[in-house]
């Protein structure tokens, strides 16, 4: 049973436009959510996170929105750049120093 | 940010042999270590959790006698794949959790294991 779902396997956007990556979860015990960027044969790189007590967190070009009632979060990247092309994983945890539960990832391609 | 190293970055071994993967947190102490693996085009799946000086806790379906975890210090943990088989070929990634309460987790660069 997948507790973190990234239903779209891939997304292609034009450089300069907005990329919106979606993630849904089922476990109401999750209280912290993270986005990671990953290249093949490399470890995930932390991008941005959000606590369940917030509904938005922004860091430069990256903004994460959380809708607790819908158990849905999204990562917005604007403007998108070709260097953003990678696999993006949504992850959730249910406490400090707890394991992370990952979604399957979405492959983002930003076209020049 | 947190710096994590893994060694080796890739390894090829024959069936039946054992392989040891090291994970080091270079600029922080980690009381908890998470070991994940990722099969091609799949998500990262937690294998086990270890606390420094204690036995590891394994996720369902992960054989503790096959994947030996040692977390002897606050900066070093090792994962040994014993009697490796081709189906153990995967990408193994460690994630040391900093001492003290922390929600953010950082990952090592990963180790690509290929068993022939």
pLDDT digits (tens, 9 = 90+) for B30-82: 888 999 999 988 899 999 999 887 889 999 999 999 999 998 888 999 999 99
Q: Contact, A45 vs A35, CB < 8 A?
A: no
Distance CA A34, CA A41 (A): 20
| 3-class state of residue A83 by DSSP | helix
**Chain B residue nearest residue A48, CA to CA:** B104
Answer whether B44 sits within 8 Å of A89, measured CB to CB: yes
In tens, the pLDDT along A57-78 reads 999 999 999 999 999 999 999 9
Answer whether A32 sits within 8 Å of B103, measured CB to CB: yes
Please give the interface size between A and B, counted as residue pairs whose CB atoms are below 8 Å apart. 58
Chain A CB contacts of B42 under 8 Å are 104
The mean pLDDT value of chain B amounts to 92
pLDDT band for position B101 (cuts 50, 70, 90): low
Average pLDDT over residues B85-111: 89
User: Is a pLDDT exceeding 90 seen at residue B104?
Assistant: no
In tens, the pLDDT along A73-106 reads 999 999 999 999 999 999 999 988 788 999 999 9
Which of B59, B74, B105 has the most A C-beta neighbours within 10 Å, making it the best mutation to test the interface with A? B105
Chain A CB contacts of B95 under 8 Å are 100
Distance CA B61, CA B90 (A): 16
CA geometry: angle at B101 spanning B95 and B106, to 5°?
20
Distance CA B20, CA B102 (A): 28
In this predicted structure, what is the pLDDT of residue B42? 87
Q: Contact, A56 vs A74, CB < 8 A?
A: no
Which of A50, A100, A103 has the most B C-beta neighbours within 10 Å, making it the best mutation to test the interface with B? A100
Answer whether B42 sits within 8 Å of A89, measured CB to CB: no
In tens, the pLDDT along A21-44 reads 999 999 999 999 999 999 988 999
In this predicted structure, what is the pLDDT of residue A100? 92
Q: How far apart are the first and last CA of chain A?
A: 38
Burial of A46 per CB tally in 10 Å (0-12, 13-18, 19+):
middle
Chain B CB contacts of A45 under 8 Å are 107
Q: How far apart are the first and last CA of chain B?
A: 37
User: Is a pLDDT exceeding 90 seen at residue B17?
Assistant: yes
Chain A CB contacts of B114 under 8 Å are none
In this predicted structure, what is the pLDDT of residue A109? 98
Beta strands in chain B, from DSSP E residues, in sequence order: 4-7, 10-13, 19-25, 30-38, 44-51, 57-58, 67-70, 76-81, 90-98, 111-115
In this predicted structure, what is the pLDDT of residue A2? 84
Long-range contacts (CB closer than 8 Å, 24 or more residues apart) made by A73-76: A73/A22, A73/A23, A73/A24, A73/A25, A73/A33, A74/A20, A74/A21, A74/A22, A74/A23, A75/A19, A75/A20, A75/A21, A75/A23, A75/A35, A75/A47, A75/A48, A76/A18, A76/A19, A76/A20, A76/A21
């Amino acid at each position: 049973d997948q507790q973190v779902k990234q239903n779209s396997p891939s997304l292609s956007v034009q450089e300069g436009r907005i990329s919106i990556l979606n993630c849904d979860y089922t476990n109401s015990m999750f209280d912290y959510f993270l986005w990671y960027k990953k290249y093949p044969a490399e470890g995930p790189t932390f991008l941005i996170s959000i606590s369940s007590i917030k509904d938005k967190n922004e860091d430069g070009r990256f903004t994460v929105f959380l809708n607790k009632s819908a158990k849905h979060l999204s990562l917005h990247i604007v403007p998108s750049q070709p260097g953003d092309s990678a696999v993006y994983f949504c992850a959730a945890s249910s406490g400090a120093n707890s394991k992370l539960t990952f979604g399957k990832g979405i492959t983002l391609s930003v076209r020049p | 940010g947190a710096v994590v190293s893994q060694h080796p970055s890739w390894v090829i071994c024959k069936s039946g042999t054992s392989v040891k993967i090291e994970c080091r947190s270079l600029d922080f102490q980690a009381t908890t270590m998470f070991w994940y693996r990722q099969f091609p085009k799949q998500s990262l799946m937690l294998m086990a959790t270890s606390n420094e000086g204690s036995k590891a806790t394994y996720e369902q379906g992960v054989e503790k006698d096959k994947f030996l975890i040692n977390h002897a210090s606050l900066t070093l943990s090792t994962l040994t794949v014993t009697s490796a088989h081709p189906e153990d070929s995967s990408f193994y990634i460690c994630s040391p959790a900093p001492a003290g309460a922390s929600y953010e987790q950082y990952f090592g660069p990963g180790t690509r294991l290929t068993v022939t």
